[in-house]
Amino acid sequence: MNKPTDIIEQVSEPLPMKKALSTLQKMVLDHANAAGSVSEPYLQTFSIAVSSTDPLLWLHNQDLYPKFFWSNRKKDDLVAGIGTADVIEYDKTGPNNVSFDILQKELCKKNPGTRYFGGFCFNNEQKQDEQWRAFKSFTFVLPDIQLSVTDGTHTLSCHLMIEPGENSEVRYRRLLETIAKINSSTLRDIPPLPEINSRSFSPDKKQWIKTCNQILQRFQEGLMGKIILARQTLLEFNRGFSPLLFLLRYPFSESSTYRYYFEPEKNTAFFSFTPERLYRRKNNELLTEALAGTCSRETIDNGNGDACQQLLNSEKDIREHKFVKDTIVRELEPICSDIDMEERVRALQLNRLAHLYTQCRAELKPEASNDSAVLKTLHPTPAVGGVPKTKALEQIIQLEPFSRGWYAGPVGWISRNSAEFAVGIRSAVAKENMFYLYSGAGLVRGSNPESEWEEVDQKIADILAITRQKR
């Protein structure tokens, strides 16, 4: 057998889904007959062009788990995946750096020429609330089957991982059974969401204001420069349903956000509509950014004002942004040979919000051209943590009345030489009929607790609007 990743591709005109599935089965079967044993992890990828299919609808029509979905901001890289050909996961409390190293080490062993999709919790030192149980400290999945859309080209692939000492025949048989379970129907029926029974906030507004004032006092004492405090909004629906409905109903065509979804068990999922990239790496080339400082259209001139202009003139938001920008540059210095952070701050217009935004390109030193080094350096930026970092992280655990789980953690994909991680904000974790929404706001000297409460409301407004759609 060849090593370590074999890519078996059938080059043909795009086939309709049903035909593509049966052709994939044939390709797998042909290789199953030549199977042998392996001395190191061996990965096979089979792929075939398939005719245009909406990956979210396709995912919605499947009844296999886990499920995931990824779309980058430009929407030229979409992937829907199901099942596990392989998983790299970890579930012990401890420093984030340990998690990053473990993922890196396991990935190196497999050296995959294809992508694993997953995420990390925000702070693995924190004991997590029950709704996060299925997500673990981190989970990265190589799916059995995936439908990807890259630059408009649709590809159906399946993966097969054989570990040393494993019976490869069993693996092939299992994969063939999984392909046989794929539903090729293109049903477009997207049911409305059920009714909401109750909604509650943690902390409530009174407690939020009290905590913010405590923090403002710390700023006065010169103990801290910035901290991001988050809120949890709990929605209780009158019955359980597929959280994927939130993605199917998200008005994404108008917004330049990532869309991330991971459903490890049926109806238990984490999803995020985040505008924020943590980084994109290709070999030693790194792209990252500072995104912090917010203005919502609704809050100026009844929605008629220019949120971008307002933001560029806001001294408090510029300062809030600068903490992130300066920290990124300072922390990248030891691991980069070249850093090019944009001088000028721009405003980025989203659906209802605008953010201050600066892009950064950097070249990683050879010894730091790996994702563990980059994750340790960048996560969490002061767009979700604070300054100084360690102090802010301690305060977050002490002051927030819930655990963050994967909220604000790195979510995305990783492979042998490249990776892309978004920051899992504007997110929710769903467990049957309970949906926990998370969002936060950066506090700096001069922040107004009431306005920060409203800023968080605006940040989850896109998700909440979906619950009000009638059909």
Ligand X SMILES: C=C(O[C@H]1C=CC=C(C(=O)O)[C@@H]1O)C(=O)O
Question: For ligand X, which stretch binds (CB under 6 A), given 204-212, 240-248, 289-297, 303-311?
Answer: 289-297
One residue of 21, 292, 360, 364 binding ligand X per CB under 6 A:
292
In the structure encoding, which two tokens stand for residue 8, read together?
């078996």
- What, of ligand X, Mg ion, none, does residue 425 touch, CB below 5 to 8 Å by kind? ligand X
Give the span between the Cα atoms of 292 and 308, in whole angstroms. Answer: 13
Q: Number of C-alpha atoms within 13 angstroms, CB side, residue 315?
A: 2
Residue that the structure tokens 């490249």 belong to: 418
User: Is 455 assigned to a binding site?
Assistant: yes
Catalytic-residue membership of 26: no
Minimum CB distance to ligand X smaller for 175 or for 396: 396
Residues paired with 379 in a beta bridge: none
Minimum CB distance to Mg ion smaller for 143 or for 442: 442
List Cα–Cα distances, 62 to 66, 153, 216, in angstroms.
11, 21, 49
Catalytic-residue membership of 89: no
Looking at residue 204, the DSSP 8-state letter turns out to be -
**Closest to 92 (Cα-Cα) out of 124, 44, 51:** 124
Q: Which of residues 346-385 bind ligand X (CB under 6 A)?
A: 355, 383-384
**Closest to 148 (Cα-Cα) out of 73, 253, 47:** 47
Q: How far is the CB of 297 from Mg ion (least distance, A)?
A: 15
**Residue count, binding to ligand X (CB under 6 A):** 18
User: Is 320 assigned to a binding site?
Assistant: yes
Residues near 59 by beta carbon (within 8 Å), at least 6 away in sequence: 67, 69, 80, 82, 147, 244
Minimum CB distance to ligand X smaller for 47 or for 294: 294
Give the span between the Cα atoms of 89 and 85, in whole angstroms. Answer: 13
The values of phi and psi at residue 440, to 5°, are -145, 180
Question: For ligand X, which stretch binds (CB under 6 A), given 51-59, 78-86, 194-202, 292-300?
Answer: 292-300
Q: Where are the beta strands (DSSP E) in 207-330?
A: 226-237, 259-265, 268-272, 277-282, 285-296
Question: For Mg ion, which stretch binds (CB under 5 A), given 160-168, 377-385, 409-417, 437-445?
Answer: 437-445
- What, of Mg ion, ligand X, none, does residue 291 touch, CB below 5 to 8 Å by kind? ligand X
Give the span between the Cα atoms of 292 and 311, in whole angstroms. Answer: 11
- What, of ligand X, Mg ion, none, does residue 322 touch, CB below 5 to 8 Å by kind? none
Q: Which of residues 418-457 bind ligand X (CB under 6 A)?
A: 425-426, 439-442
Q: How far is the CB of 161 from ligand X (least distance, A)?
A: 35
Minimum CB distance to ligand X smaller for 55 or for 293: 293
Sequence letter at residue 172: Y
Binding-site positions: 320, 455
Residues lying near ligand X in the complex (CB under 6 A): 228, 230, 276, 291-294, 320, 355, 383-384, 425-426, 439-442, 459
What residues line the site for Mg ion (CB under 5 A)? 294, 441-442
Binding site for Mg(2+), by residue number, is 320, 455
Q: Which residues are catalytic?
A: 226, 276
